[in-house]
Amino acid sequence: MTESIQAPTKSILKIEDMWAGYDGEAVLEDIQFEMFAGDYVAIIGPNGGGGKTTLIKVILGLLPVMRGSVSVLGQSPVQARDRLGYVPQVSRTDRDFPISVWDVVRMGREKAGFFLASGLCPRKTSKRLNARLVRLMCLIWQSGLSMNFRAGNVSAC
């Protein structure tokens, strides 16, 4: 029996005739690219000036294109932003900023941003969600990863 392999029908990322850059100066010129669900892609090139960061900024909707188009999950990059995840290679984080893993997870889960972590958001996290977050944090803590836990959150482990 022969299995037929079907080509993907809907792209998750489509870039057509895209130019992007800074201050009117193009860094990327005439870029064509299409990616489908299940594809694996690596962005490689020399440090500084290869356009890798510029491309990522365009895909995330952080930098507008000079011309051409970019579609992410069938939407503009700005519209699709809440459906994307990005972890930078280098993190410039203030380790003294008073926020815990608990706060970060709740912010992403409830999409209330800073206001939830600061207590300014009226929405409450459900007891069921709190229990799941505590369990997840316990598993991470038990695995030996160093994380910023507030007193009391690990006591349930």
Long-range CB contacts (< 8 A, 24+ apart) of 44-52? Answer: 51/27
pLDDT value at 142 more than 80: no
Under the banding of pLDDT at 50, 70 and 90, the label for residue 76 is very high
Q: What share of the chain is helix, strand, coil (3-state, %, to 5)?
A: 30, 20, 50
Measured from the Cβ of residue 140, the count of other Cβ atoms closer than 10 Å reads 14
Query: Can you give the pLDDT at residue 3?
Result: 60
Domain residue limits, the chain:
11-83, 93-157
Q: What is the pLDDT of residues 11-68, one digit of tens each?
A: 999 999 999 999 999 999 999 999 998 898 888 888 887 899 999 999 999 999 999 9
Contact between residue 105 and residue 44 where contact means Cβ atoms under 8 Å apart: no
pTM for the whole structure:
0.56
Task: Determine whether 20 is exposed, middle or buried from the number of CB atoms within 10 Å of its CB (0-12, 13-18, 19+).
Answer: buried
Domain 11-83 has CATH 3.40.50.300: yes
pLDDT at position 122 over 50: no
pLDDT at 95 over 80: no
The β-bridge relationship of strands 25-36 and 67-72 is unpaired
pLDDT value of position 99: 73
How far, in Å, CA of 96 to CA of 119, rounded? 19
Highest mean pLDDT among 43-52, 64-73, 84-93, 107-116 belongs to 64-73
Give residue 84's pLDDT band: very low, low, confident or very high (50, 70, 90).
Answer: confident
> What's residue 115's pLDDT?
45
Tally of CB atoms within 10 A around 22: 11
Q: Which long-range contacts (CB under 8 A, 24 or more apart) does 151-154 make?
A: 153/100, 153/102
CB burial of 72-107 (b: ≥16 within 10 Å; e: otherwise) equals: bbeeebeebeeeeeeeeeeeeeeeeeeeebbbebbb
- What is the per-residue pLDDT for 147? 52
What value does the mean pLDDT take over residues 125-143? 71
User: Is the CB of residue 69 less than 8 Å from the CB of residue 76?
Assistant: no
Query: 116 pLDDT band (50/70/90 cuts)?
Result: very low
